[in-house]
Amino acid sequence: MNSAPKKPARPDFGHPPETIEFWKRLVREALSLSVPTPFYVFSSVPIAEKISELDAALVNAGFQSAIGNRKLKIAFRHWLSCKTQPVAPLLRWWRAQGRGIEVVSEFELRAALAEGFAPEDILVNGPAKHHWLAQFELPGLSVNFDSRAELDALLPRAKKLNWRLGVRILTGEEFDPENPQFPTQFGFAPDEAVAALKKLLRAKARVETVHFHLRTNVPSVRIYERAIAEVAEVCRAAKFSPLHLDLGGGVPVRHVRSRGSKVYDGEFGLRAFAQQLRQSVKLFPGLRELWLENGRFVSAGSGVLAVKILDVKERRGLRQFICDGGRTQNALTSLWEQHALLALPERAGRQTRTAVHGPTCMAFDQLACMALPRALRAGDHLIWLDAGAYHISWETRFSHGHAAVCWHDENGLRRVRERQSFEQFWSQWEK
């Protein structure tokens, strides 16, 4: 007997009414400024709220912010993951908060320097850094080595420039998501990490940090517990007492679902996370700071993508919208994630299963498939929520230019990037 067809997802995904109204207001304002669709709107307000939420959980667990007066407690420090949302106004706003930035490439490092971050407020991660980092004379950088080749190539410069050094450790909790039986390509295996730490200690380098990064949307606090215990064992074997424990991103995003409708944060609570960290840091005598780089959790809810419906089709029981933005150009994460989708103007009445497509000539270009009002028509606008993480990083120019970008903060909304013109699109080629 065939099972009943799965009901299409509702479009709001449980976002609070005030969040929905916040984004509708900003998109209406952008449209009133004649910003052409598709466009992104990013705001500092949700980022500040997420940082405050994390701060509250950590402080309640007994940690202390590294910003402000320090007491005899382990402090926590947030680093902005530049790769997650490489938007210049965000970097400026973040620097004004007195916080540091994490970069993983030459371009990101140059962007951080261009926006005024001091070297001591920059943390360099990522693989194969020895092929580009040596060109920079930047005393006081924080650098986490990813391999033996990096360590050998960069150690003399690190000592000369007094870099704060760390080692990234590949724990058993990190794996290739497409082939879970294999590890990812990052960091030192535990035995390699022990050897690397011993070498740094013998060289009398300024080694202060151990680092690991699990993956995105970690489903359980217990995964962190096991990974931290493994890192502590590496430190014991190397007879190394780190000053900083650097946790890569992984705290799951709220109000976002998998394509199979799984809720990513269903078994993960910030309070339990902070309490587990408080217990786990006892494994590191002498630890001073907990470093966090939660790019997706912090920034996913800080942006939306606005598109316009250009055409409507209906066949085989499915309504289809052709829009001027979509997965191929603007929202690659829709390949594995479902996000809330709002309509402007609001349309009431009967709903029907609707596929939302972008304008490119690929069947792949499907932003969403869910129940939407039948009253929606060409000329209406759709707002794809939670577009703040990796959407700019993975934006394409497939037959079209890059989208316009608006930024919102305490000073209001403004356009910070124009839609790419044909001349900009084509002028990259030499004659």
H helix intervals, 203-287: 221-238, 270-280
Mean pLDDT within 264-275: 92
Residue-wise pLDDT for 200-227, tens only, equals 999 999 999 999 999 889 999 999 999 9
In sequence order, what are the residues at sequence separation of 6 or more whose Cβ sits closer than 8 angstroms to the Cβ of residue 205? 155, 158, 159, 165
- Per-residue pLDDT at 1: 40
Asked if the model's pLDDT at residue 232 lies above 70, the reply is yes
Q: What is the pTM of this model?
A: 0.94
Q: Indicate the range of 21-30, 52-61, 255-264, 308-317 predicted with least confidence.
A: 255-264
- Of 36-45, 80-89, 168-177, 400-409, the poorest mean pLDDT is in 168-177
Q: What is the pLDDT of residue 8?
A: 45
Residue with tokens 């029981």: 317
Structure tokens at 329: 């150009």
More confident residue, 224 or 13: 224
Q: Does the structure show a pLDDT above 70 at 198?
A: yes
pLDDT reading at 129 higher than 60 = yes
| pLDDT of amino acid 12 | 80
Q: Reply yes or no: is the peptide bond before residue 345 cis, omega within 30 of 0.
A: yes
pLDDT at 263: 87
Q: Residue 9 pLDDT more than 60?
A: no
Local structure of residue 348 (DSSP, 8 states): -
- pLDDT number for residue 2: 43
Domains, the chain, in order of start with CATH, read 17-42+301-424 (2.40.37.10), 45-300 (3.20.20.10)
Element housing 52 (H / E): helix 44-60
Q: What is the mean pLDDT of residues 414-424?
A: 97
pLDDT of residue 125: 98
| pLDDT average, residue stretch 190-201 | 98
Q: What is the pLDDT of residue 100?
A: 98
The C-alpha atoms of residue 358 and residue 172 are separated, in whole angstroms, by 39
**Mean pLDDT across 166-177:** 94
Is residue 3 pLDDT above 50, yes or no?
Answer: no
> Is a pLDDT exceeding 50 seen at residue 76?
yes
CA quadruple 108, 109, 110, 116: dihedral, nearest 10: 110
What is the pLDDT, as a whole number, of residue 73? 87
Rounded to an integer, the average pLDDT of 399-427 is: 97
pLDDT at 185 over 60: yes
Q: How confident is the model at residue 4 (pLDDT cuts 50, 70, 90)?
A: very low
Say yes or no to pLDDT of 171 above 80. yes
Task: Check residue 11 and give its pLDDT.
Answer: 64
